[in-house]
């Protein structure tokens, strides 16, 4: 058997039960970004988006009883979906002080985030009903001054003293080091 886990055609394997999918109740959860994959979105005839790249982000959230659920959320790399992309990058704290982010998902892997999950009901191709979790909302972290579903007290602006111009009559004489060098200035 190869060391990388690859199975060989013709080898005999023990049967492994597929684990039951965990569906968490709707609510807010701490999670982390487990992985992502980039695919191409091909729109259907009634789609509101044009063809674009999409990123399927897999997050893992833990419930109150310790059970963990994997949720795959699709983020479309399209101008119309910029608000959901912004919410994701803010949630994993990858937005800079200027409010900008790079569409680079590598730094997002293993980052913590806070999400509101909802339950999505569906019917499989063979008619079986099923449920899964979906991200309803990405919360920005409270450390950045955002509020996460709870109103936080805002800091009261404090009066700042008026700007005082420096006194231009007091200048310090520059002393030169031996050899004529004056610590970064041009010799004069």
Q: Tell me whether residue 5 is in a domain.
A: no
Share of the chain residues as helix, strand and coil, in percent rounded to the nearest 5: 10, 30, 60
Q: How many Cβ atoms are within 10 Å of 76's Cβ, its own excluded?
A: 16
User: Over 60: is that where the pLDDT of 14 sits?
Assistant: yes
Q: Tell me whether residue 107 is in a domain.
A: yes
Q: Tell me whether residue 72 is in a domain.
A: yes
Q: Tell me whether residue 130 is in a domain.
A: no
* pLDDT-based confidence at residue 164 (cuts at 50, 70, 90): very low
Domain enclosing residue 63, as ranges: 31-113
3-class SS of residue 118 = strand
Q: Tell me whether residue 120 is in a domain.
A: no
- pLDDT digits 0-9 by tens, 45-79: 999 999 999 999 999 999 888 899 999 999 999 99
Q: Tell me whether residue 18 is in a domain.
A: no
Q: Structural domain tally of the chain? A: 1
Q: Tell me whether residue 49 is in a domain.
A: yes
Supply the pLDDT for residue 159.
44
Supply the pLDDT for residue 12.
76
Nearest in space to 38 (alpha carbons), one of 70, 69, 77: 77
- pLDDT digits 0-9 by tens, 117-141: 999 999 989 999 999 999 999 999 8
Q: Return d(Cα 174, Cα 12) in angstroms, integer.
A: 85
User: Over 50: is that where the pLDDT of 37 sits?
Assistant: yes
């Amino acid at each position: 058997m190869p060391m990388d886990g690859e199975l060989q055609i013709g080898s005999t394997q023990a049967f492994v039960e597929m684990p039951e999918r965990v569906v968490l109740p709707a609510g807010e959860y701490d999670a982390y970004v487990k992985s992502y994959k980039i695919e191409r979105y091909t729109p259907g005839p009634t789609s509101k988006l044009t063809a674009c790249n999409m990123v399927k982000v897999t997050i893992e959230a833990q419930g109150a009883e310790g059970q963990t659920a994997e949720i795959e959320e699709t983020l479309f790399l399209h101008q119309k979906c910029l608000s959901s992309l912004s919410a994701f990058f803010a949630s994993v704290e990858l937005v800079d002080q200027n409010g900008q982010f790079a569409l680079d998902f590598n730094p997002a892997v293993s980052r913590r985030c806070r999400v509101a999950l909802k339950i999505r009901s569906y019917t499989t191709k063979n008619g079986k009903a099923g449920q899964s979790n979906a991200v309803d909302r990405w919360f920005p972290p409270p450390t950045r001054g955002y509020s996460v579903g709870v109103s936080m007290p805002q800091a009261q602006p404090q009066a700042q003293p008026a700007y005082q111009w420096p006194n231009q009559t007091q200048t310090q004489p520059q002393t030169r080091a031996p050899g004529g060098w004056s610590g970064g200035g041009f010799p004069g």
